Structures are given as C-alpha cells and as structure tokens.
Amino acid sequence: MPAFSEVLMRGTLISGQEIIGFFDIINSRDLSIMFFLLCIGAIVRYLLVSTENPIIPNILVAFYCLAIIVIMPDFLQALAIGVVFGLVAALISHSLFDPAFLVSEPLGAAVCLGSFMVFQNRIWGAPFLTAVAATLASGIAYTSLAVSFGQVKIINEFSGTEEFIIGICLIMAITALLNGLIVAIAYDKIVAFREHLA
C-alpha cells in the first residue's frame, strides 16, 4: 500500500521526476531566486515552529508567492514550486496533520498564479491581493484536511473541533494580511534583484 504522502503527491498529478523536469525548464537565474526565497522561508518557518504553538502562521506562502509572481512559471511549474514548499512545510512542522501541506501548498501556488494573472495590470495592489488569496486557499485546504484526518491531535490540543476552527481561522486571517504585506513590500525588490542577476 502506498504511503499517504505518496497518495497526496499523486493527487497533485505531479511525480518527483516531473518536478525535476519542470525545474530543468526554468533558467538558473530563476532557480536561484526560488531557492533563495525557499531558504529564507524555511528559516522563518523554523523559528516559528520552535515556539511550539499548536497553530503557527504559514509564512511560507509569502515566499512561494514571491517566487511565482516574479518568475511567472506555467501552471505545472507553479504546482511543482508548491510541492517543494509543501515538502519543506511538512518537514519543518509539528502541526496537527503534516501531510496536508503536500496538498495545501500546491493549491496555494495554483491560486497564486491564477490570481496574479487576473489582478496584474488591472487592480492596484495585485501582489498584496494575490498573496492574500493564496494564503486563504492554502489555509482552507489545510484546515479541511486537518479536521478530516487529525481529529486525535485536535482533541489532545483543543477542547474541541470548534475551538480549533475558530483559532485557525483567526490565525489564517492575520497571516493572509501579513503575507500580503510581505509580498507587496518585497515584490519590486525581488524583481530588481532578478534583473541584476541577468
């Protein structure tokens, strides 16, 4: 029987070989930017996880949103970026259901790309709105999976599912705004950094 993480990976329609293939297409400059943002995001996540709170803000969304809206990959490449960041989120975690990140982050990445394509050049503050949309999509997906598969941990950490949902929705809303601000502030700087690498 395949491991649950493998089932989740297959659910994204992306295999390990396909991920490597997608990154072969992206040039070295854009790969450098992506891994630079991945490293910063991983460090920030590690610091947040070290607080040992049962619910922590998913700041990684801001960093893969920056990578996606600066690089502007195609849809499958965006999903692959989401899978990579999802693996990092699952590995650096003590959440209620770590494998959920293998679904929530590819979904967030897809929403990020789609939202930016809609908002760009049409709405002021497109980077901010894109990160907010991606964070909410990722958070809702994670919450749904955690409630479905992490009931034992929820019962141990909270008085009930209702308390967990209220708490995570509050954190999700605050994180969405924080991620939006991070992306809005850093977007032009990352674009300039990318041009400098050319």
Q: Give the whole-angstrom CA distance, residue 184 versus residue 83.
A: 23
pLDDT band of residue 155 (cuts 50, 70, 90) is confident
From residue 46, alpha-carbon distances to 26, 79, 91, 194 in Å are 27, 23, 10, 26
Q: What pTM was estimated for this model as a whole?
A: 0.85
pLDDT tens digits along 111-150:
999 999 999 988 889 999 999 999 999 999 999 999 999 8
Q: Give the whole-angstrom CA distance, residue 87 versus residue 78.
A: 14
- AA letter at 72: M
pLDDT tens digits along 52-108:
887 899 999 999 999 999 999 999 999 999 999 999 999 998 888 899 999 999 999
Question: Domain locations in the chain?
Answer: 15-197
Which has more pLDDT, 150 or 170?
170
Quote the pLDDT of residue 20: 52
Surface-to-core class of residue 153, CB atoms within 10 Å of its CB (0-12 exposed, 13-18 middle, 19+ buried):
middle
Surface-to-core class of residue 99, CB atoms within 10 Å of its CB (0-12 exposed, 13-18 middle, 19+ buried):
buried
Torsion, CA 45, CA 48, CA 49, CA 55, rounded to 10: -110
Domain 15-197, second-level architecture: Orthogonal Bundle (1.10)
